[in-house]
Copies of this chain bind each other. A is one copy, B any other.
Amino acid sequence: MITKEKIAEWFKHLQNDICTTLEEADGSGQFIPDTWNRPGGGGGTSRVLNNGSVIEKGGVNFSAVHGETPAKILTALNLDSAEFYATGVSIVLHPHNPFVPIIHMNVRYFEMSNGVYWFGGGIDLTPHYVDRADAQYFHATLKEVCDRFDPSYYPTYKKWADDYFYIKHRQETRGIGGIFFDRLTAQKGKQKTDIFAFVQAVGQVFAPTYTYFMNKNKDLSFEDQHKQWQYLRRGRYVEFNLVLDKGTKFGLDTDGRTESILMSLPPLATWQYNHTPPSDSTEAKTLSHLKKDINWIDF
């Protein structure tokens, strides 16, 4: 039987494995652990890497928290009271080299004392410069993982990511998307074990996928103009996370641990009024790719 404790244990191992693999690929950076307790129950370990050779700032969070279900969830589910348990791993990595993309991954499990449970998660990529071959590789990798479980997963969760990682006030997607899913529970012939296996596969594909981009692009040469563009794109990342990301909003609203929630924010970001790259620039080309519904695999 898949208990919440087993899921949390697996997530904890995933955090370790990912940190080890990222440290190897980085070459010099080390994830420093910071273990914390939640006043209402449970806690977690944030592992943060600063100023590595490839990663400028990265965080790999594990948490397993429990207690009285926040009022917002109770209201949404029309419940008077219930205990909850939530565990997950969440990651954001900001690289030095502007040709290495920003990446985000999250896998999570939530259950309540009334028997309700669900899994959620996703991986999405935010290149400062969109490279179509890299985008194809990324989406083909995710499709392959999804297809092992259900042919409907990739198209459904790819669209979900397009819709979720959309910066409405900029009319831009955050990056090239990926997959996003939430509230997956046993249904349509899928058991809890099947869903957990899918979530595990998503967690496991993260490290090889990102280290592929690290190794491939970390030594590409760049100029100051590319760094300036990277800082502007990081500004958009901040806008998404602080204005739109539901997890961030929920965490801050329910007195979550601020430093862990905002670990995703970049080491350095800029804002310029009405910045518009020249129409024939690689920066403008990237902007033209920050749209929903692009088929990144067949083009």
Q: Which residues of A contact B (CB under 8 A)?
A: 34, 46, 48, 50, 57, 59, 168-170, 231, 235, 238-239, 242-243, 249, 252, 255, 258-259, 261-263, 265-274
| Known interface pairs A169-B255, A231-B268, A267-B271; 12 further A-B residue pairs with C-beta atoms within 8 A, sorted by A's residue number | A34-B274, A50-B273, A59-B273, A169-B261, A239-B242, A242-B242, A242-B243, A259-B273, A259-B274, A265-B271, A267-B270, A269-B270
Q: Which residue of B lies closest to A243 (CB)?
A: B242
Q: List 9 A-B contacts (CB under 8 A).
A: A48-B273, A48-B274, A169-B255, A169-B261, A235-B265, A238-B269, A242-B242, A243-B252, A268-B268
Residue of B255, B268, B271 near A270 (CB, 8 A) is B268
Q: Which residue of B lies closest to A49 (CB)?
A: B273
| Distance of A175 from chain B, by nearest CB (Å) | 19
Given the complex of chains A and B, what is the CA–CA distance between A48 and B34 in angstroms?
42
Q: Do B259 and A266 have beta carbons less than 8 Å apart?
A: no
Q: Do B272 and A169 have beta carbons less than 8 Å apart?
A: no
Q: Note all chain B residues with C-beta closer than 8 A to A268.
A: 231, 268-270
Ordered nearest first, which 5 A-B pairs have the shortest CB separation? A242-B242, A265-B271, A48-B273, A169-B252, A169-B258
Q: Note all chain B residues with C-beta closer than 8 A to A239.
A: 242, 262
Q: Note all chain B residues with C-beta closer than 8 A to A255.
A: 169
Given the complex of chains A and B, what is the CA–CA distance between A238 and B237 in angstroms?
12
| Distance of A94 from chain B, by nearest CB (Å) | 10
Q: Note all chain B residues with C-beta closer than 8 A to A235.
A: 265
Q: Note all chain B residues with C-beta closer than 8 A to A262.
A: 239, 271
| Distance of A159 from chain B, by nearest CB (Å) | 23
The CB with the most chain B CB atoms within 10 A, among A168, A169, A242, A258, is that of A169
Residue of B238, B261, B274 near A238 (CB, 8 A) is B238
Q: Note all chain B residues with C-beta closer than 8 A to A269.
A: 238, 268-270
Q: Do A273 and B242 have beta carbons less than 8 Å apart?
A: no
Given the complex of chains A and B, what is the CA–CA distance between A259 and B276 in angstroms?
11
Given the complex of chains A and B, what is the CA–CA distance between A231 and B169 in angstroms?
25
| Distance of A138 from chain B, by nearest CB (Å) | 26
Q: Do B242 and A170 have beta carbons less than 8 Å apart?
A: no
Q: Note all chain B residues with C-beta closer than 8 A to A243.
A: 242-243, 249, 252
| Distance of A172 from chain B, by nearest CB (Å) | 10
Q: Do A267 and B258 have beta carbons less than 8 Å apart?
A: no
Q: Note all chain B residues with C-beta closer than 8 A to A34.
A: 273-274
Given the complex of chains A and B, what is the CA–CA distance between A235 and B270 in angstroms?
10
Q: Which residue of B lies closest to A170 (CB)?
A: B258
Q: Do A263 and B273 have beta carbons less than 8 Å apart?
A: yes
Given the complex of chains A and B, what is the CA–CA distance between A34 and B272 in angstroms?
14
Q: Which residue of B lies closest to A171 (CB)?
A: B258
Q: Which residue of B lies closest to A47 (CB)?
A: B273
Q: Do B170 and A273 have beta carbons less than 8 Å apart?
A: no
